[in-house]
Amino acid sequence: MDTFQQKVRTRIIVLTVLAVVVALIYTGFMLYRSELPILNSFTKGFHQGIFFGLELVILGFLVQNIKGSRSEAALKKMHIEENDERFSLIIQKTASMTCLVMFAALGVATVIAGFLNAAVFFSLLGALLFMVILFYAMWMYFARRN
Amino acid sequence: MKTKIPELRKQRKLSQEELGLAVGVTRQTITSLEVGKYTASLVLAYKIARYFGLTIEEVFDFSELEE
């Protein structure tokens, strides 16, 4: 449990630094907005949403870890929730099924885009190739580890 | 897979939450084990059996595998 406590402390530090860095990047963008290309309102809103969303997720994890580190019982509960074997299995199955569906959807979308628009076709093809390379890289990594 | 976890838990007046805490899994995992939706790993099966002072075969029913 001491190792996990140390892990949670490190996580709190990393998350705090990350929250500050994300806030600083956003503030930097706001300060130098006039020097950036003029964007439409939807793109601006999307960028703001990404930053605020990321900040909220980081803060959420931060609060969760701070709560967990307050007492021995909370720490143990957090450790169990994170290392529960059934939860890990659910995550693994969800990730592999999502990956499979994404491969199929991207493949179909790439074929359809080939008949409609060259830019979209090459973007989707790039995404599909990236996913295939990443998949095999991960496969080789985990095959060597296990 | 069938298990004797519900009976053993009731004999010792343990809740699913308490058993989960003792063996390092969530209450939901104990529920899934009890209803046979989830098969425990070797490590978890060993922890549960050791917690009740029994062998793995005394807690988990492997007859389905032998058939």
CB atoms inside a 10 Å sphere around CB A139: 10
- What are the CA-CA distances from residue A23 to residues A48, A63, A108, A114, A116 (Å)? 11, 17, 39, 40, 40
Q: A15 and A79 in one domain?
A: yes
Number of compact structural domains in chain A: 2
Q: Contact A86/B20, CB-based, under 8 Å?
A: no
In DSSP terms, A9 is beta-bridged to none
Q: Which of A76, A77, A85 to mutate to test the interface with B (most CBs of B within 10 A)?
A: A85
Nearest CA in chain A to B44: A85
CA distance A30 to chain B (A): 45
Please give the Cα distance from B27 to A89 (Å, whole number).
16
How much is the pLDDT for A30? 85
Of A83, A106, A124, the residue that ends a domain is A83
CA distance B19 to chain A (A): 12
Q: A116 and A46 in one domain?
A: no
Q: A65 and A130 in one domain?
A: no
Alpha helices in chain B (DSSP H): 5-11, 16-23, 27-35, 42-52, 56-59, 63-66
CA distance B54 to chain A (A): 22
Whether B66 shows a pLDDT value over 80: the answer reads no
Nearest to B39 by CA among B54, B55, B61, B19: B61
Of A83, A117, A138, the residue that ends a domain is A83
Q: A17 and A78 in one domain?
A: yes
Confidence of residue B18 (pLDDT cuts 50, 70, 90): very high
Q: A20 and A70 in one domain?
A: yes
Please give the Cα distance from B4 to A132 (Å, whole number).
45
Q: Which residue segment(s) compose the domain that A146 sits in?
A: 85-146
Q: A71 and A22 in one domain?
A: yes
How much is the pLDDT for A8? 94
CA distance A113 to chain B (A): 42
How much is the pLDDT for A1? 73
Whole-prediction pTM: 0.79
Q: Contact B21/A85, CB-based, under 8 Å?
A: no
Of A31, A59, A83, the residue that ends a domain is A83
Topology of domain B5-59, CATH: 434 Repressor (Amino-terminal Domain) (1.10.260)
How much is the pLDDT for B65? 77
Q: A114 and A99 in one domain?
A: yes
Count CB pairs under 8 A between chains A and B: 30
Domains of chain B, residue spans: 5-59
Contact criterion met (CB below 8 Å) for B20 and B29: yes
Q: Contact B29/A83, CB-based, under 8 Å?
A: no
Q: A143 and A108 in one domain?
A: yes
Q: A46 and A16 in one domain?
A: yes
Q: What is the pLDDT along chain A (146 residues), one digit of tens a residue?
A: 778 999 999 999 999 999 999 999 999 988 888 888 888 889 889 989 999 999 999 999 999 999 988 888 899 999 999 999 999 999 999 999 999 999 999 999 999 999 999 999 999 999 999 999 999 999 999 999 98
Q: A68 and A117 in one domain?
A: no
Q: At which residue do the structure tokens 């402390």 appear?
A: A9
pLDDT by residue (tens digit) across B34-63? 999 999 999 999 999 999 999 999 999 988
Q: A92 and A22 in one domain?
A: no
Contact criterion met (CB below 8 Å) for B20 and B27: yes
